[in-house]
Amino acid sequence: MQHDSATPQAVLWTGQPSVFGNLEVEPPGSITYVFDETLKKNVWRYHKPADSRSYRCESRNIRVNGYAYKWQKNKTYQIKWKSKITKIDSNYGDFVIFQWKSYPNGLQNYPILMTAVRDEVRFIYIDTAGKWHTLWTRKTLDGEWNSYCLTIHLSDEDQTGWIELKYNDVIQLIGGVEKFYGRTLDGSNEPKWGVYNRDNPAHEMEQYIGELEVSTV
């Protein structure tokens, strides 16, 4: 299924060292910048060892010209990255790998989540009543690199906010449509990459993230 979605106009940010808003990681977890033999470049490793109390290992937001970026209402952004999860097809559990997080918590708390659930990745939209809607799922394997491209038009109204998702460079149907309409701005929102599971933190969680890029559209 090929489709030409919105075309990026200007690269706003790339995910090199010292460009996240901040890092949210608790001991014994770590966020490191390491060389990947498959991509032949450095990538981010988010690693939370098995620990019953530590549940978060994430980077929060992006930093542009030295300052944490303020995402703007009525603008359209394209967020691209590659992801490799080291334990997903191993009856491994459920954890969050990407958040479009609300600050403060707002009506939705996180309008968009991506989770790793045993042998698949799930794309979830949360509405203003706090209900979760699984819009897309895809089977994947341990140690497999996959690319994501999320285009978001920011609006605090259901009728004018929208989302598109590309997976491995192919536009996906989310909720049965190529462009899903919904409220995408819940107060102030920021992207978070990494691993997170507050409900069941005891097991190890790990994700590698590469080729991060944010563009305006």
pLDDT value, residue 3: 41
Res 216: pLDDT: 97
Least confident span in 59-63, 85-89, 154-158: 85-89
Overall average pLDDT of the 104-130 stretch: 95
Report the C-alpha dihedral over residues 82, 28, 58, 144, rounded to 10 degrees: 20
Residue extents of the structural domains in the chain: 10-64+73-216
pLDDT in tens, 150-209: 999 999 999 999 999 999 999 999 999 999 999 999 999 999 999 999 888 888 999 999
Longest dimension (CA), the chain: 45
Whether the CB-CB separation of 171 and 154 falls below 8 Å is answered with no
Q: pLDDT-based confidence at 5, cuts 50/70/90?
A: low
Residue 45: pLDDT over 90: yes
Residues 6+ apart with CB under 8 A from 131: none
DSSP 108: T
For residue 2, is pLDDT > 70? no
Question: Does domain 10-64+73-216 correspond to CATH entry 2.60.120.200?
Answer: yes
Mean pLDDT, the chain, rounded, equals: 94
Query: 4 near 172, Cβ under 8 Å?
Result: no
Residue 1 pLDDT? 40
Query: Is the pLDDT at 4 greater than 70, yes or no?
Result: no
Task: Please tell me the predicted confidence (pLDDT) of residue 6.
Answer: 65
CA–CA separation, 57 and 96 (whole Å): 10
Give the whole-angstrom CA distance, residue 184 versus residue 110: 9
pLDDT one-digit tens code per residue, 125-154:
999 999 999 999 999 999 999 999 999 999
Mean pLDDT of 73-95: 90
pLDDT at 126: 98
Burial of 149 (0-12, 13-18, 19+ CB in 10 A): buried
- Of 103, 112, 109, 212, give the one whose Cα is nearest residue 162: 112
* pLDDT tops 90 at residue 92: no
Buried b (16+ CB within 10 A) or exposed e, 31-58: beeeebeeeeeebbbbbbeebeebbbbb
Q: Give the pLDDT band (50/70/90) at residue 47.
A: very high
Note the pLDDT of residue 203. 87
pTM for this predicted structure: 0.94
pLDDT at 9 over 90: no
